[in-house]
Amino acid sequence: MNAILDLQTETELTRLDTLFATQQAHFRANPNSSCEERLKDLEILRSLIVNYKDRLVEAVAEDYGHRSTFDTLISDISGTLHSLEYTRKNLKKWMKPSKRSAGLMLAPSKAYVHYQPIGVVGIIVPWNFPIGLSLSPLLTALATGNTAMLKMSEFTPKTNAVLKTMLAEGFAESKVALIEGEVEVATRFSQLPFNHIIFTGSTAVGKHIMRAASANLTPVTLELGGKSPTIIGPDFDVQQAVERIAFAKSINSGQACVAPDYVLMPAEKVTEFIDAYKAYFNSMFKDGINSKDYTSIVNQRQYQRLKSVLKDASDKGAIIDPVRPVAFDDNRHRMIPHLVTGVTDQMTVMQEELFGPILPIIGYQSVDEAHQYVLDHDRPLALYIISNDKALQERFVTNTLSGGVCINDLLMQVAVDDAPFGGNGPSGIGHYHGPEGFKTLSHAKTVLNRGSINFTKLLHPPYDTWFKKTIIRKIGG
C-alpha cells in the first residue's frame, strides 16, 4: 500500500516539474496576451462553472460527508461567477496604460505605467471553499494573462477530481493545471520558482510558504485566517444581533476564514443573547443535527480538533452551552453550535482560530474594555461592528487594524467585488480581489519616453562652464 502511495507521490512530483516547465515555455511564447484573448479565457471558465455546477455541488458534499447545497452555491459558485463578471466588465479599463507625470526635470517626455503579465502563478487552495478559493484566484490569473498551477487540498479529493476534469475540458495544461498530493507534493510546489504564489490557508503553513518562496524571491499573497471579533454595541437590539450572527456562523458550520470567531457584548445582555441564539438557530435548522441545510465538519480530524477545544475550555472552567440537546454525531462528524462563556486567554478556545461551530461570548462592562481586548490580540481578518452608534463605529474602524470591517452585518464584505480582500500581519499579506487583484498579478512597468529632443547632454561633464556650475550650485536648493 505504502509503495503505491510512494509511487503516486513520485509520479505527481515528476508531473509537477514537467508542468511547470511546460507553463514557463507557454508563457515565453505568449508573454503578452490581448484583452480579447483574456476575455475568451474568462468566458470559457464561466461556461465550465455553469456546466459543472451540479457535479461540483455533489462532489463537495461527498468530501464533507454532507454539505448544504446553499453553502456551496452561495459561497463557492455564485461568489466566483460574480467576481468573474465584474472582472470581465472592468478588464479593458484596467489593462489601459496609466498616464503619469514625468515632471519638469525630465521635460520633454512622457511617462506611463504598463501593466504586464508576470508569468506562471502558483495557487495553493484550502479545503473549506475548494471551488471558490481555487477558481477566484484562477480567474484573476487568467485576466492578467498569466498561466496558473493549482495545488488542491488533500482533504477534498472528490472536488479536486471534478475540477480537474472541468478545467482540462477548457484549458490546455500549459495554461491551467491542477495538482493533487500530500505534504511532500505541497512542499515541492511551494519551492517552484513561480512568478507569484497566492496561498489561502492557515497562518502556520503561510509561514512555510513565505520561507520557501523567499529562496526564489517569489512574491506571495497570503490569505490567512485568525480570530475575527464581533462587537455588539450597548445600543443594539440583541434579537437582531443574534439573527445576523447565528446565520453568519452557520454558513459552512463556521468553517470560514471570515466567520465570527468570538463576540464581545454588554455583560448584562449575555443570557438574553444565549437564549435568543438557541431559539433562532432552532428556527433556522428545525431538524437540528440532522438538518439538510446544516453542513458537517469536513472530516474526523477537524471534528476531533473542535471537540478537544471544547474539552480544554470545559476543563479550565468555561461554561459550554450547546444550542440543542443532541449536539454531536460522532459517526458523521456533525456538530451543533456551542456557545462558550467564562472564557480566559489560557484556553485554546481563545488562542486559536476556531474554524467551526464554537462561539465564545465575552461580556464587557464598557466599550473601552472591548476595544482594549481587540487591540491586545492579533490583527484579525475581519472585524464586525453591530451598532448604530456612529461614534462607536468610527472608533473601531479607525482605531483597530483588521483585514476588513463589516458594520451591522457579517461576511458580506467579501462580496464587494470592487474592493480588495486580504488580511494584515498574522491574518495575511496582499490582496487579489478588485483592481488590487489585477495589480497583484501584473507587473507595473514604468515606461519613460524621452522622445526626439533630449537635454540630458547638458548634464554631461566637464562641469567647468558657467551654465553647468550654476546648475550644480542649484542642486539641493
Backbone φ, ψ for residue 103 (5° rounding): 85, 160
- The answer to whether 256 and 412 are in contact (CB under 8 A) is no
Site string for ligand NAD, 134-153 (x = CB under 6 A): -----------------x-x
- The grid coordinates listed for 471 are 546648475
Asked if residue 208 binds ligand NAD (CB under 6 A), the reply is yes
Instruction: Out of 190, 218, 387, 393, name the contact with ligand NAD by CB under 6 A.
Output: 190
User: Does an H or E element contain 199, and which?
Assistant: strand 196-200
Candidates 223-231, 365-373, 437-445, 456-464; binding stretch for ligand NAD (CB under 6 A): 223-231
Closer CB to ligand NAD, residue 126 or residue 170?
126
Instruction: Out of 167, 186, 198, 340, name the contact with ligand NAD by CB under 6 A.
Output: 186
- Residue located via cell numbers 498551477: 149
Residues 110, 112: Cα–Cα separation, whole Å = 7
Q: How many chain residues interact with ligand NAD (CB under 6 A)? A: 28
Asked if residue 79 binds ligand NAD (CB under 6 A), the reply is no
Asked if residue 200 binds ligand NAD (CB under 6 A), the reply is yes
Residues 100, 115: Cα–Cα separation, whole Å = 13
- The grid coordinates listed for 369 are 474594555
Active site residue 369: no
Asked if residue 110 binds ligand NAD (CB under 6 A), the reply is no
Instruction: Out of 119, 126, 137, 337, name the contact with ligand NAD by CB under 6 A.
Output: 126
Asked if residue 163 binds ligand NAD (CB under 6 A), the reply is no
Q: Is the dihedral of CA 189, 190, 192, 194 positive or negative?
A: positive
Asked if residue 353 binds ligand NAD (CB under 6 A), the reply is yes
Asked if residue 125 binds ligand NAD (CB under 6 A), the reply is yes
As beta bridge partners, residue 232 has: 386
Backbone φ, ψ for residue 159 (5° rounding): -65, -40
- The grid coordinates listed for 436 are 488590487
Site string for ligand NAD, 357-396 (x = CB under 6 A): ------------------------x---------------
Residue nearest to ligand NAD (CB): 225
Residues 32, 91: Cα–Cα separation, whole Å = 14
Asked if residue 154 binds ligand NAD (CB under 6 A), the reply is yes
Closer CB to ligand NAD, residue 146 or residue 153?
153
List Cβ neighbours of 196 (8 Å cut-off, separation of 6 or more). 118, 119, 121, 122, 146, 218, 219, 220, 221, 440, 441
Candidates 5-13, 38-46, 198-206, 304-312; binding stretch for ligand NAD (CB under 6 A): 198-206
- The answer to whether 433 and 89 are in contact (CB under 8 A) is no
- The grid coordinates listed for 382 are 475581519
User: Cβ 329 to ligand NAD, closest distance in Å?
Assistant: 22
Closer CB to ligand NAD, residue 44 or residue 419?
419
- Give me the helices (H) in 96-227, please: 132-143, 157-170, 183-191, 203-214
Question: What are the angstrom distances between the C-alpha of 349 and each of 145, 319, 358, 427?
Answer: 43, 12, 8, 18
Site string for ligand NAD, 13-52 (x = CB under 6 A): ----------------------------------------
Q: Where are the beta strands (DSSP E) in 72-109?
A: 98-100
User: Cβ 205 to ligand NAD, closest distance in Å?
Assistant: 3
User: Cβ 381 to ligand NAD, closest distance in Å?
Assistant: 5
Active site residue 223: yes
Q: Which of 223, 352, 369, 436 is catalytic?
A: 223
Q: Which of 180, 257, 353, 406 is catalytic?
A: 257
Residues 436, 412: Cα–Cα separation, whole Å = 18
Candidates 61-69, 97-105, 220-228, 244-252; binding stretch for ligand NAD (CB under 6 A): 220-228
- The answer to whether 113 and 452 are in contact (CB under 8 A) is no
Catalytic residue ranges: 223, 257
Could you list the residues that contact ligand NAD (CB under 6 A)? 124-128, 133, 151, 153-154, 183, 186-187, 190, 200-202, 205, 208-209, 223-225, 257, 353, 355, 381, 423, 428
